[in-house]
Structures are given as structure tokens and as C-alpha cells.
């Protein structure tokens, strides 16, 4: 019998309290653990399968909404990078999933807790478990929160045709200089923040605010709105 107690803290880390905690335990159960414990009736592979599909549609929808001027090729490349094994493993490390994985002895002693393939699969299984337990909307919010650092300003999601690049081209063509972006406030809980970014140009003659779940998304939203204001 697997104790649920260690997974209470994990629920705090991922920002979701399960109605059926067994789903989280299942998401953390690697096939190697099941193979060595014949009384365990599950592993995380089915939830991993489901979570992979949920991640793909959530990320595709997010990119489709935030980058309306990008073509299919740009969106496809951005999605592939965001849901890559490396990106998902990085997210799993931030959440500390490796500490809670149920692994077989061999998998554990050979470094399975920090292996990209194991961690990315575990994150997909967690997303699948949240989807089953809480539904699509909650799963989508958790996915966006999980991947927020990958959507940060340093992450080159799109081509040079994104709204911020187009805004800079426009302001320089008009003689207004380079747009200035400033975070003016952050609201919401730490695991699901909302950033408000002010965008201005022409020494403040034109200014507008944008908001989003990351600084990048908020800045992009502001850039879109300021583009509409300019002559």
C-alpha cells in the first residue's frame, strides 16, 4: 500500500489539490516500480499518453491566441520547443517531481530521478492526472503556470515578425525611438501571477498597458495595443 502523505506537499508544489489523490500517486509511479511491486496495479504510462495530448492542445491554443500574425510553420516550431523533452524535464525539476517519483531500485540507482526522459514523462502524467481530476480549464491554467519560465522574455518563441519587433520597426520609422517596457505591477498568487506591463514611446506621448501570465505575454499584449494607437 502506497502512503499518500508524501504527496500532500507535492500538491502544494504543483498548485493543485486533487479530489482523487490516487491520480497523483499514479502519475508518479514509473513502470519500473510497478514491475518490482506486483501488488501495485498501475504505472503512469496511460496518464502520460493523455497528458501529452493535453499539453499539445493547450500550448497550441496559447500560441494561436498570443501570436495571431504568425504562420503555421512558426507556431509549429514554437510548440515543438515548448513541449520538448528538455523543456518539460526542466519544468519537472522546478516542481521537484524527481523527489516524489516511485522508481524501481535499478532505475533509481542509475539516476532515473534526474533523467530527462523520466522527468518529462512524469510531468506529462501529472498534466493528464490534473485533466482527469479537474477538467480542461484547470489543466490549461496549470500548464501555462508550469511553462511560464519557458515563455519568459529570454525565450525566442517567435520570429522577428512578433508584435514587439513590429512595434519597434514602426516607432523607429516614425522617429519615436525604441519602445520602453516596464512592469508596473504583479497580481495573483505566486504560482499563477498576472503581470501588467506599460509600453510607451515618443517620450510617453503614446502609452498603453498589457497584461498576461508572464512578462513576455504582457509585453506582447501591450505592443499589440500600442501598434493600433500609432499613426
- Enumerate domains of the chain plus CATH numbers: 6-151 (1.10.1520.10), 163-229 (3.30.160.20)
pLDDT tens figures, 136-182: 999 999 999 998 887 764 444 444 457 888 898 889 888 899 999 99
Please tell me the predicted confidence (pLDDT) of residue 3. Answer: 63
The question of whether 121 is a catalytic residue gets the answer: no
Please tell me the predicted confidence (pLDDT) of residue 66. Answer: 79
The question of whether 52 is a catalytic residue gets the answer: yes
> 137, exposed or middle or buried, with CB in 10 Å at 0-12, 13-18, 19+?
exposed
Residue of 43, 48, 52, 107 marked catalytic: 52
Distance CA 41, CA 211 (A): 45
Residue of 43, 48, 70, 124 marked catalytic: 124
Please tell me the predicted confidence (pLDDT) of residue 75. Answer: 84
Q: Are 51 and 128 in contact (CB under 8 A)?
A: yes
Per-chain mean pLDDT for the chain: 88
Q: What are phi and psi of 180, to 5 degrees?
A: -115, 130
Closest by CA to 150, choosing from 84, 58, 98, 71, is 84
Please tell me the predicted confidence (pLDDT) of residue 7. Answer: 82
Grouping H, G, I as helix, E, B as strand and the rest as coil, residue 82 is helix
Please tell me the predicted confidence (pLDDT) of residue 154. Answer: 42
Distance CA 169, CA 178 (A): 9
Under-50 pLDDT residues of the chain: 153-160
Q: How many CA atoms lie less than 13 Å away from 30 in the CB half-sphere?
A: 25
Instruction: Locate 209 and state its grid cell.
Output: 498597458
Amino acid at each position: 500500500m502506497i502512503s499518500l502523505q508524501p504527496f500532500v506537499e507535492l500538491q502544494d508544489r504543483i498548485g493543485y489539490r486533487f479530489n482523487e489523490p490516487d491520480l497523483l500517486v499514479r502519475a508518479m509511479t514509473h513502470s519500473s516500480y510497478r514491475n518490482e511491486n506486483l501488488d501495485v496495479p498501475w504505472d503512469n504510462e496511460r496518464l502520460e499518453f493523455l497528458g501529452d495530448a493535453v499539453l499539445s492542445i493547450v500550448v497550441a491554443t496559447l500560441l494561436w491566441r498570443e501570436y495571431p500574425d504568425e504562420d503555421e510553420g512558426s507556431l509549429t516550431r514554437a510548440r515543438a520547443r515548448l513541449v520538448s523533452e528538455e523543456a518539460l524535464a526542466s519544468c519537472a525539476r522546478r516542481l521537484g517531481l524527481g523527489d516524489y517519483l516511485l522508481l524501481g531500485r535499478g532505475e533509481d540507482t542509475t539516476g532515473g530521478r534526474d533523467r530527462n526522459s523520466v522527468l518529462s514523462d512524469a510531468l506529462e502524467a501529472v498534466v493528464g492526472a490534473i485533466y482527469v481530476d479537474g477538467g480542461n480549464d484547470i489543466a490549461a491554467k496549470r500548464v501555462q503556470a508550469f511553462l511560464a519560465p519557458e515563455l519568459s522574455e529570454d525565450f525566442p518563441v517567435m520570429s522577428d515578425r512578433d508584435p514587439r519587433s513590429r512595434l519597434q520597426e514602426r516607432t523607429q520609422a516614425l522617429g519615436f525611438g525604441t519602445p520602453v517596457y516596464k512592469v508596473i505591477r504583479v497580481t495573483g498568487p505566486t504560482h499563477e501571477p498576472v503581470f501588467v506591463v506599460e509600453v510607451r514611446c515618443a517620450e510617453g506621448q503614446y502609452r498603453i498597458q498589457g497584461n498576461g501570465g508572464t512578462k513576455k505575454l504582457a509585453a506582447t499584449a501591450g505592443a499589440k495595443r500600442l501598434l493600433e494607437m500609432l499613426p
